[in-house]
């Protein structure tokens, strides 16, 4: 399927995308709120530990050494150790706060295109447009640089007019001039990768409209497998809590417990087949 193949946006597709958008934004806001909350809590914790350590240090006269052999030696050593421990905890909490602050910033500024983003197709098409323009820009520069009909002065002039830096006329460490071939080949590969993702996303949307949500029962495993295509998730609903081995296996294969859904779930994508999963779960349950 070409990336230029249009998807007919009818009321059913619109409803699906709106439902996904609500989930996507809610989850993003929840992650951002959680990161800010943890950063604030750890920053406050760091401040509290620091103040406690400073308060304890005031109980030790400036320059007062530990009186070795004195009856107070053991108590003094323990006191100083507690003081150091609180300072260490302050430093550790401060590092944790910085981590979550960076995480919050990353969530806010993340430009990656997630497959469960309802606008993923439009965003990928925009990225492809930019990548193709970049490809043409590099190619136009190389065409001028490698032209045998132009003098060095003419090449410099044309490069400037086209918005290129004349420095690309200089040979690199491998003796090459112009924009390196690997730049163009890597960019082309990235364009193909994004185009393939668009094809898969469109097919997944078509499957959602044509097939809808489905589920299968596996009584021997006390399990229901749901292919919730409307939210792009495969969900495992167990009767009761699965064993530790099964939970470990699910985590290792990308499943996460979703309390709001009452299920273990992961992204569905296209071409999902639960046969191997069922075989593995059966094997684990019988071991």
pLDDT at res. 273: 80
Q: What distance in Å separates the CA atoms of residue 161 and residue 145, rounded to the nearest whole number?
A: 13
* Model confidence, pTM: 0.69
b/e for 143-163, b at 16 or more Cβ within 10 A?
A: ebbeeeeeeeeebeebbeeee
State pLDDT tens for residues 182-227: 999 999 999 999 999 999 888 888 888 888 889 999 999 999 999 9
Q: What is the mean pLDDT of residues 272-278?
A: 86
Q: What distance in Å separates the CA atoms of residue 101 and residue 232, rounded to the nearest whole number?
A: 30
State pLDDT tens for residues 101-122: 999 999 999 888 888 888 999 9
With a pLDDT cut of 90, the percent of the chain lying above it is 65
* Residue 286 buriedness (CB in 10 A; 0-12 / 13-18 / 19+): exposed
> Tokens standing for 3?
């990336």
pLDDT at res. 2: 45
């Amino acid at each position: 399927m070409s990336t230029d193949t249009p998807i007919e946006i009818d009321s059913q597709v619109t409803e699906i995308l709106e439902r996904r958008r609500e989930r996507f934004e809610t989850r993003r806001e929840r992650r951002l709120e959680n990161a800010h909350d943890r950063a604030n809590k750890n920053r406050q914790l760091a401040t509290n530990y620091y103040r406690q350590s400073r308060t304890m240090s005031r109980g030790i006269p400036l320059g007062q050494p530990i009186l070795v052999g004195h009856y107070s030696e053991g108590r003094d050593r323990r006191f100083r150790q507690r003081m150091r421990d609180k300072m260490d905890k302050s430093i550790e909490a401060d590092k944790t706060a910085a981590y979550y602050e960076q995480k919050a910033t990353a969530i806010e500024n993340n430009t990656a295109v997630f497959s469960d983003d309802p606008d993923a197709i439009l965003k990928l098409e925009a990225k492809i447009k930019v990548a193709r323009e970049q490809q043409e820009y590099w190619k136009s520069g190389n065409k001028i640089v490698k032209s045998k009909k132009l003098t060095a002065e003419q090449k410099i002039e044309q490069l400037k007019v086209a918005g290129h830096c004349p420095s690309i006329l200089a040979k690199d460490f491998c003796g090459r001039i112009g924009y390196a071939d690997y730049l163009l080949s890597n960019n082309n590969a990235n364009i193909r990768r994004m185009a393939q993702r668009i094809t898969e996303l469109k097919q997944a949307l078509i499957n959602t409209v044509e097939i809808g949500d489905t589920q299968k029962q596996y009584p021997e495993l006390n399990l229901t497998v749901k292919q919730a295509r409307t939210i792009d998730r495969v969900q495992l609903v167990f009767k009761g809590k699965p064993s530790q081995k099964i939970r470990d296996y699910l985590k290792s294969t990308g499943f996460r417990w979703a309390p709001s859904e009452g299920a273990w779930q992961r992204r569905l994508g296209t071409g999902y087949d639960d046969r191997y999963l069922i075989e593995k779960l059966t094997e684990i349950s019988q071991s």
